[in-house]
A = this chain, B = another copy of it.
Amino acid sequence: METKLRELKTLLAEVNDLESAGAVLQWDQSTYMPTGGAAARGRQLATLARLAHEKFTAPVIGKRLEELSRATADLPVDSDEASLIRVTRRDYERAVKVPAEFVARLSEHTAATYQAWTLARPANNFAAVRPFLEQTLDLSRQLADYFPGYEHIADPLIDYGDFGMTAKLIRQVFGELRQELVPLVQTITAQPLADDACLRQNFPEADQLAFGAAVIKRFGYDFERGRQDKTHHPFMTKFSLGDVRITTRCREDNLGEALFSTLHEAGHALYEQGIRPDFEATPLAGGTSSGVHESQSRTWENLVGRSRGFWEHFYPQLQAAFPSQLRRVPLEDFYRAINRVQRSLIRTDADEVTYNLHVLIRFDLELQLLEGKLAVKDLPAAWQARYQADLGLCAPADRDGVLQDVHWYGGIIGGNFQCYTLGNILSAQFYEAATQAQPGITAEIAAGQFQTLHGWLRENIYQHGRKFTATEIVQRVTGQPLTIAPYLRYLRRKYGELYRL
């Protein structure tokens, strides 16, 4: 068994190397690549992705996995060996079900759609992408059909990011959440809008970046095993467990942009940096699901980074970094500004309270499209109707409506959005468990200390990588399945206090 396991790991490391090389090329494309490199870069990325897929779906891997499944059958289910085989086998079986020819066709179509969207969005021209999106919907259904036996056609697509979750389960959870959120948003937004003018002064970029970097270093982000660069859209990417990078974008007229995207991406990175080093270059070396990943970015961005205690410690430092802008702004005003609740049209600009309503709209529309209950041609109207119903707003243009997110135009329809709200729900559920186990966490944060929280998350979540599924992790860590109660408690306590509800 030892020899076969070693052989399998060598084969998997090769796949990992090709995927990591692709990640480096993508990172470079977003950060430093000159425009002239675009055409060849697309081809290089396609080659790496194709070779990684070919290598991973090679029959020798299937054979080794089968042999090693038998050989590890008697090991405890949470042993490293059994976990590696189980998780790899799950990936393998998913990968071999989709013909390479289909993967290539989908990827070609996606690239063309993305290209069309980059022109259609500024031109506010949904009609231009409609035929692309119709084909995307067809391809998304075809993709699901490579996994027969599903209960809902979206289930196999949700599985890619959030293994074990189903449309039915998520729909139920999101339905309950919506029932609570819509009236909460109404109550809060009936009050006068908080003033965030203090965030909208001029803040030199270098000082903003230095402040953000100092904060995430305190969080525990290891700059010896990562770095931060600027990109159009912030992201986290990993080339190895020793090289987990983040990016941000900076607006000198908005203090929140770089700061909170930095804390957000650092949350993703803390997860990856915290994975057990001996999982390196295996399928275990990653976050266990999109939802759990997002729970960590939201924990460090919101539960920590938008909390009163956090700013009790850091606000004097922020004032010292920007004295002329913030010297005369009291902590309370700043705290209200960074937690201002406002119904808005754009998801990525939304506050903690309204954010999920944006997500729920998209999730429901995805399901309706896949179910055949909504035609692509009727999508803009359906979008408008839901924004009217849930947020009381009407987008003046599709550019700020159905064209706003890249997801449908850069991938498939299905499984794209649930992770954001699952992440919010889980962030509160995990955080409640953390503070129950370690009640000192809150006081530590107010003293600018994060070791206990970071240590607890690393011990209970990060180190395991993909060894346990999201469902298993939630149960292990909180003793319960996924539940919205802690999240609602968190929102009600924080915003109840802020808005004296």
Contacts and interface: CB of A to CB of B under 8 A. Distances in A.
Interface of A: 13-14, 17-18, 20-22, 24-25, 28, 32-41, 43-44, 47-48, 51, 222-227, 229, 239-243, 280-281
A37 B20 CA distance: 11
A154 B243 CA distance: 41
A40 B20 contact: yes
B39 A17 contact: no
Q: Name A's interface SS.
A: helix
A228 B423 CA distance: 40
B41 A243 contact: yes
A206 to B, nearest CB: 13
Contacts of A40: 20, 239-243, 280-281
A241 B44 CA distance: 13
A149 to B, nearest CB: 36
Nearest to A27: B28
B43 A224 contact: no
A44 B279 CA distance: 16
Nearest to A245: B34
Most chain B beta-carbon neighbours within 10 Å: one of A36, A43, A48: A36
A33 B243 contact: yes
Contact of A25 (B21, B36, B222): B21
Given A17-B48, A47-B18, A243 B36 contact: yes
B28 A24 contact: yes
Contact of A224 (B13, B36, B41, B226): B36
Nearest to A273: B36
17 contacts: A14-B47, A14-B51, A17-B43, A17-B44, A17-B47, A21-B24, A21-B47, A24-B28, A28-B28, A34-B223, A36-B222, A36-B243, A37-B242, A40-B239, A40-B241, A40-B243, A44-B240
